[in-house]
Structure 1
Amino acid sequence: MTGYDVLAEVYEWLISDAKLTPAEFAAAFADVTCLLPSNAQVLDCSCGTGQLAVGLAGLGMQVVATDASAAMVRRTERLAEETGASFLTVRADWEELTDHFGDASFDMVFCVGNSLHHAEGARGRVAALESMSRLLRRGGRLVLTSRNWELVRSRGSRLDISDRMVRRNGRDGLVIYRWEIAPQWEQEHRIEIAVVQVEGDGSVLVRSELLSCWPYQYGELESELHSVGLRVEKSTFDPEAEGYVVVATKE
C-alpha cells in the first residue's frame, strides 16, 4: 500500500458525515462488534486517521491500529491523545503484520476504508489477506469494505468533482477524484484525489495525491478469501451499489 502522506492532513474531507466521529464510525459496524466477547482483541489494519480505532476503544475493546502510512499513524495517535483513548499503534503494511503479532492474536480484524485495492495485484492481495487470516483466532472475523470495482471500471477514466462543499473543522473544501482506468483488470490503475480548501479570506489551498491501485471483481475476492481459510459469512455486494461490506470467518 502506498501514499496518503499528503492526504493524511485532509482525510476527514473524504469521510462521510455519518462516520465522522469515532462513536459514529464504530456504530456503523455494530452488527459485527455485537458478536465480540468483552475485552475483545481487535486489529484495525488500515486505521487511517483513527476514527474507527478510537471508537472501538471507546466500547471497551483492546485495540491495535496499524497503517502503511506513517502520516496516517501519526493522525491516529493525535486523535487518541485528544480523546483520551489508549491503544497500540504500529506503522506496518499488511504483509508486515505477522512480523509484529503472533498467529491467532485477534478476535476481529478490520480492513475498511476501501483500502485493499492498494495491494499490488492478485499476488499482493492474497498475501495481504493471508496475513490478516493468520492473525485471526479460529471463529474470528475479518470485516472488509470495498468499492464496487465493476461499476468503477464501467465508467472509464474521468474527472469526478463533488457537487457540494464539505465543511470540516470550520473550513470548506471541495473533493475531486481523477480516475485513470487501465485497459485490463490486472493492470495498475490510478486515482488522483484532491481536496481544495477554501479559506476564510477567500484564498484556496489544494492538497492532492496520486495513488496506485489494482482493482478486483467481487467473485475474485470471494475466491481469494476462501483460499486463505476465510469463509464469507455476510456480504452486502450489489452489482448496482457503489460499495459493499464483507464479513468473513476464520475456519
Structure 2
Amino acid sequence: MAGYGALSEAYEWLIRDENLSPVGAAARFEDLVAPLPPHARVLDCSCGTGQLAVGLAGHGLDVVATDASAGMIRRTAALAEEHGVRLDARQVSWEGLGDHLEASSFDLVFCIGNSLGHAEGERGRLAALASMAQLLRPGGRLVLTSRMWEVVRARGTRIDVRDRLIRRNGRDAVVIYHTQIAPDWDQEHHMEIAVTEVRPDGSLHTCAERLSFWPYRYEELVAQLQSVGLTVETSTVDADGAGYLLVARSDG
C-alpha cells in the first residue's frame, strides 16, 4: 500500500468527529475488546494517525500499530506519547507483516478505515489478508471496515464536497473528494482528496494527494477470507449502504 504521505499531515479532517479521540475510536469496538484478557495482544494494521491504537493501549492491551506511511507512524507515536500510553509503532507494509511480527501471536487484528481497498487488485488483497490471518491465534479475530464498493462504482466518477466547514483544533477546512471510476472492476481506480484549510489570516492552504484503489465485491471478500482460513462471524453489510463492519474468526 502506497500513499498517505501529504495527507498524513491533514488526516484529522478526514476522521469522523466520534473517532477523533482515542477513547471515542476504541469505544466503537468495546464489544470485541471487553472480553479480552489483560494484556491481550492486538494489531492495528494500517493504523492511520493512531486514534484506535492509542485508545486500545489505554485499555491496558499490548498494542502494535503498523502503517506503510512514515508520516502516519510518526503521528501515531506522537499521539501515544501525548496520552501517556505505550505501544509499538512500526512502518510496515502488509507484505512485510510476517517478517516483523510473530505468527499466531495476536488476539485481534484491526484493518479499518477502508484500508484494504488500497491493496493492489485481487492478488494484492489476498496477500494482505493472508498476512493478517497468519498473525492471529486460533480463534482470534480480524476486524475490518470497508466501503460498499458496489455502491461507489454505481455512482460513477464524481466530485463530492463536504457540505460544511470541518473544525479541528480551532481551525476550519473544507474537504473535497474526486473519485475516478475505471471501466472494469479489476482496473486501478483513483481518488484525489484535497483538504483546504482556512488560516487565521484568512488565506487558504491546500493539502492534496491522489490515491490508488482497487474495489471489490462483498462476496469476493468473503471468499478470500475463507481461502486464508477465516470465517465471517458478523457483518453489517447492506447492499444499499455506504460501508460495513465485518468480523472474521481464525479457524486455526
Structure 1 residue 101, shift from structure 2 partner:
1.0
- Residue 233 of structure 2 is matched in structure 1 by 233
Are 2:189 and 1:185 equivalent residues in the alignment?
no
Which letter maps to 1:78? A
Determine the structure 2 residue equivalent to 1:121: 121
Match of 1:11 in 2: 11
TM-score by length of 1: 0.99
Tell me which residue corresponds to 1:154. Answer: 154
Q: Secondary structure at the match of 1:32?
A: helix
Q: CA deviation at 1:12?
A: 0.5
Q: What code does the residue aligned with 1:176 have?
A: I
Gap regions ≥5 residues in structure 1: none
Residue of structure 1 in register with 2:223 after alignment: 223
The aligned counterpart of 1:201 is 201
1:42-61 aligned at under 5 Å gives the runs: 42-61=42-61
For the residue of structure 2 that corresponds to 1:122, the secondary structure is: helix
1: CA distance between counterparts of 2:106 and 2:206? Answer: 39
2:100 paired with 1:97: no
Paired letter, 1:136: L
Q: What is the CA–CA distance in structure 1 between the aligned matches of 2:2 and 2:101, rounded to whole Å?
A: 22
Equivalent-residue separation in structure 2 for 1:176 and 1:103 (angstroms): 40
Aligned residue for 1:21? Answer: 21
Counterparts of 2:237 and 2:130 in 1: how far apart (Å)?
Answer: 22
Q: Distance in 2 between matches of 1:27 and 1:237?
A: 20
State yes or no: 1:81 paired with 2:81. yes
1:40 maps to what in 2?
40
Residues 149-175 of structure 1 deviation map (CA, whole Å, 9 limit, x = unaligned): 011000100110010010001100001
Q: Which amino acid aligns with 2:228?
A: V
Q: In structure 2, what is the Cα distance between the partners aligned to 1:39 and 1:102?
A: 16
CA-CA distance at 1:35 after TM superposition: 2.9
Q: Which residue of 1 aligns with 2:109?
A: 109
CA distance in structure 1 between the aligned counterparts of 2:71 and 2:196, rounded to whole angstroms: 19
Deviation at 1:95, TM superposition (A): 1.1
| 3-state secondary structure, aligned to 2:176 | strand
Unaligned runs of 5+ in 2: none
Residues matched between the structures, number = 251
Rounded to whole Å, the distance in 1 between the matches of 2:241 and 2:19 is: 19
User: How far apart are 1:53 and its partner, in Å?
Assistant: 0.4
Q: CA RMSD in A?
A: 0.6
Aligned partner of residue 10 in structure 2, secondary structure: helix
C-alpha offsets along residues 194-234 of structure 1, whole Å, 9 cap, x if unaligned?
Answer: 10101121100000000000000100000000000000000
Question: After TM superposition, which residue ranges in structure 1, 4 or more long, deviate above 3 angstroms?
Answer: none
Amino acid corresponding to residue 228 of structure 1 in structure 2 = V
Q: Deviations over 1:50-99 (max 9, x none)?
A: 00000000001000000010110001011111111111111011110000
Q: Please, what TM-score do these two structures have when normalized by structure 2?
A: 0.99
Q: Tell me how far apart the structure 2 counterparts of residues 80 and 57 of structure 1 sit (CA, whole Å).
A: 8
Q: Distance in 2 between matches of 1:150 and 1:161?
A: 21
Matched-pair identity in %: 60
- SS state at 1:82 partner: helix
Instruction: Spell out, residue by residue over 1:1-26, the C-alpha distance to the aligned partner (whole angstroms, 9 max, x if none).
Output: 11101000110000001111000000
Amino acid at match of 2:46: S
2:244 counterpart residue number:
244
SS in 2 for 1:209: strand
The DSSP-based 3-state class of the residue aligned with 1:123 is: helix
Distance in 1 (alpha carbons) for counterparts of 2:31 and 2:164: 31
Distance 1:54 1:216 in 2: 30
